[in-house]
Amino acid sequence: MKRAACALAAALLFAAWALAILLPGGGSSAPERYRCEWETGQTYESFSDICAVLTGADEAGARLVRNGESGVVAPTAAYAGVYETLQSGTLPELLSLGTEEISRPERAALWMTFSARLWYADEPFAWTGRTVARAVPDGRFQGGELVVFSGMPSAQLLASLGTRSLIFREPVAWNASALIGTRVERVICAEPYACADDVVTLRRGGSVRIVCALPLAERLVLPDADFADAGALLPCAALREVSVPFAGSARSAGENAAVQFSHLFSDGTREFVPDTLRKVTVRGGTLAAHAFYGCPMIEEIDCCGAEEVSRTAFADCTGLRVLHCPRGDVALAGEFAREALACGCTRFVRMG
């Protein structure tokens, strides 16, 4: 009861503060009216009437919807610059931003759109309704968007906020541990990093490195690459199916290369291949001896595209039910029926 009362008091204080930043500076007795441009014409309306139909801000202005008709509050001369800065400005531009020249409806619309966004430059910043300043993250930012200028936010911060979108304005050193336990489902990277199909990659010196995958993915196709970081798939705790360009840390197995599939789930000490993983496709590279050590949960492996396969690559796959393999004499745990395929591979199916 006491906790609920405290939460209600905090909510009321926050609402009062949000209202205060939208109130005009003076004490005019007559309500100010603002020109609204609708699909069917123009109206002049009070701030309270506008707030009832206000939907947020975009590049055109403070957006309105009433009875299925869209409109916009006629923008002030300063609005476009304020919106553009909040949408895509640099950190110095954000910190020097002022809103004295925009209207109350515009300020309210910008609050609706940007109040849940955090900016991050080794510490968090937020929109106060009049400027961007240092912030203490709280429930206001739950499930929101975080724009990063420098420093990788911790996984603990992202998880506590339920952050869904990460937008990087500058190149920031990535590693998979930053996403473990988070709910991030959208990432926009700055070069030389890129994110496509839920996978973050690094392109440097003519080579491509797989850095990490987004945590909510259940099915993944990792892109063709030359290298893969240890633990690149550690955030994917519910992964069911994955296609990889090679097993291990590199397409060409060198002296120091990791050769086991579980390298993608390693924290440097242990491997955490999720129990949910059922199917793996290997599109190239070499499958060395005991390549699938520690993967008893995998039921299906397709390595038709592998360039070389060790006879004992699958010896530890005690849960394996179906194998599509270029080699017909591999050692398997259990009894399997064999079928020759048109591609030159052999299909093994567990008996019983």
Contacts of 341 (CB under 8 A, 6+ apart): 324, 347
For residue 63, the tally of other CB atoms under 10 A from its CB is 18
- For position 15, what pLDDT does the model report? 45
Question: What does pTM read for this prediction?
Answer: 0.84
Q: Is 209 helix (H, G, I), strand (E, B) or coil?
A: strand
Contacts of 320 (CB under 8 A, 6+ apart): 298, 299, 300, 301, 314, 332, 333, 334, 350
Residue ranges per structural domain of the chain: 33-113, 222-350
- 201-223 residues labelled b (16+ CB within 10 A) or e (exposed): bbeeeeebbbbbbbbbbeebbbe
pLDDT band at 148 (very low <50, low <70, confident <90, very high): very high
The model's pLDDT over 15-38, given as tens digits with 9 standing for 90+, comes to: 444 544 455 444 445 678 999 999
- For position 9, what pLDDT does the model report? 41
For residue 255, the tally of other CB atoms under 10 A from its CB is 4
Mean pLDDT of 139-150: 94
Contacts of 314 (CB under 8 A, 6+ apart): 291, 292, 301, 320, 323, 325, 330, 331, 332
Mean pLDDT of 284-293: 95
Distances (CA, A) of 162 to 165, 181, 348: 9, 10, 43
Q: Cβ distance 80 to 58 under 8 Å?
A: no
Residue 13: CA atoms inside 13 Å, Cβ hemisphere, count?
6
